[in-house]
């Protein structure tokens, strides 16, 4: 985000700023997906393996909430 702020301060060409913003958004979306995958493969899998119905349900609700945001 600092790079985008600098570009704005430097009055760079608007399409270049937009391109930089889109690149940052895509990078954050990729990172978000990787973190979610890791959470599902780790914490959620562990909850299901525990056979604790409350813990399993909590993880399901957690994932649904994240997806719906």
Parse the chain into domains and list their residue ranges.
2-67
Mean pLDDT of 48-63: 95
Nearest-10 Cα torsion for 37, 43, 46, 52:
-130
Residue 63 near residue 40 (C-beta atoms within 8 A): yes
Residue 69's pLDDT band, with cuts at 50, 70 and 90, is confident
pTM above 0.85, yes or no: no
């Amino acid at each position: 985000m600092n790079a985008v702020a600098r570009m704005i301060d430097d009055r760079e060409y608007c399409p270049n700023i937009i391109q930089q913003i889109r690149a940052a958004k895509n990078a954050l979306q990729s990172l978000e997906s990787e973190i979610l995958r890791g959470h599902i493969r780790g914490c959620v899998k562990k909850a299901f393996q525990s056979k604790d119905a409350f813990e399993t349900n909590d993880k399901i609700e957690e994932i649904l909430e994240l997806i719906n945001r």
